Structure 1
Amino acid sequence: MRVIAGSAKRLQLKTLDGMETRPTTDRIKETLFNMISPYIYDSIFLDLFSGSGGIGIEALSRGAKEAVFVEKNPRAMECIKENLKYTKLDKKAMTMTKDVMTALYQLEGEKTFDYIFMDPPYNQELEKMVLSYLSKSELVYEDTVIIVEASLDTEFSYLEQMGFRMIKTKEYKTNKHVFIEKEGKQEIC
């Protein structure tokens, strides 16, 4: 896994061995950032269920002002910290080694995010729990874009009830990215 573009372009990132994390492939990461890169510069980015930190690091490399990494696995967090230091992006990063819901409660009132990316373990409805919290949270404002990486069969029919709407979905062979924003926003992405 490597950084695709920006200040840390082509640098290899460390990942955990085994199946504890599922790093987003370079190809999928490149497709994702091709869709959002015009808007990343100077943004504040939240990377939930961070794994090895590849998505948040890519955002920082492409000009995000700040990124917060949330990962409860201490071994994975050490990997994130090593990757941040190696890419020289650690000064623009905040790391939280804790459960995602605990981290969200602690961030409340401290920050508002332009992008919230989450890649939770598949088929456990963790994204639904996080979205339910975010629907009433000050971490999200009308321009926040929430991106969920999920299995192809994960459904999001509940979004409207939470006050969200799906902007678009990008499907790959084994998973998909779902782009979400608050209901009532006029622009797209």
Structure 2
Amino acid sequence: LEGCRWLDLCTGTGAMGAEALCRGASLVVGIEQSGRACAVIQQNWQQVIRDDQRIQLIRGDIGQKLPTLAGQNFDRIYFDPPYAGHLYEPVLQAIAHHQLLTPVGELAVEHDPTLHTAETLAAFIPNSALELCRYKRYGNTAIAFYSRR
């Protein structure tokens, strides 16, 4: 991940962004709605950040905040919403619409495999702008990895 630009959506505790920083990401941007979570994220990221790295934490509704990143590109996007929520479709559409993923980037979508499959998630992506490149299952959690076509 050395030098990559990382976007962490529904950031939670910030663990994935912190790991990206530890592995050399040059930029980590997170979007999280919870103010309490944002305080934890900021603290976690500050513990691992180096002088040559940048972080940006955006607090607010992901549907409103994600379009503000239009014009930026990310090498890795990690999306871990509440599994039973209704964020998958609008967020995946926004990622594709705003072309937030670099041409060689990768989008990881964490989900409950009993609620979604890689195919049902891909159906939310307009014009088949992204294609499934890997799929991993870890018990009750699955991660579908997509790249640009």
Q: TM-score range by the shorter chain?
A: 0.7 to 0.9
Preserved contact between residue 10 and residue 79 of structure 2 (Cα < 8 Å):
yes
* Alignment pair present for 1:115 and 2:82: no
Quote the offset at 1:156 in angstroms: 3.5
What is the aligned partner in structure 2 of residue 104 from structure 1? 66
Contact between 2:31 and 2:62, CA under 8 Å: does it hold in 1?
A: yes
AA paired with 1:92? R
Partner of 2:130: 164
Corresponding position of 1:6: none
Q: Which runs of 5+ in 1 are unaligned?
A: 1-39, 184-189
Amino acid at match of 2:67: Y
- The aligned runs of 1:87-102 (5 Å cut-off) are 87-89=48-50, 92-102=54-64
What CA distance in whole angstroms lies between the structure 1 residues aligned with 2:23 and 2:7? 14
Q: Across the two proteins, how many residue pairs are aligned to each other?
A: 143
1:79 paired with 2:45, answer no
Residues 82-135 of structure 1 show CA distances to partners (whole Å, capped at 9, x for unaligned) of 1122234585211101111222111112x2100000100003241222111112
- CA gap 1:89/1:99 in 2 versus in 1, 3 angstroms: farther
Q: Aligned with 2:98: secondary structure?
A: coil
Q: Percent identity?
A: 27
* Unaligned segments of structure 2, at least 5 residues: none
With the length of structure 1 as denominator, give the TM-score of the two structures.
Answer: 0.70
AA aligned to 2:146 is I
1:134 to 92, 95, 108: 95
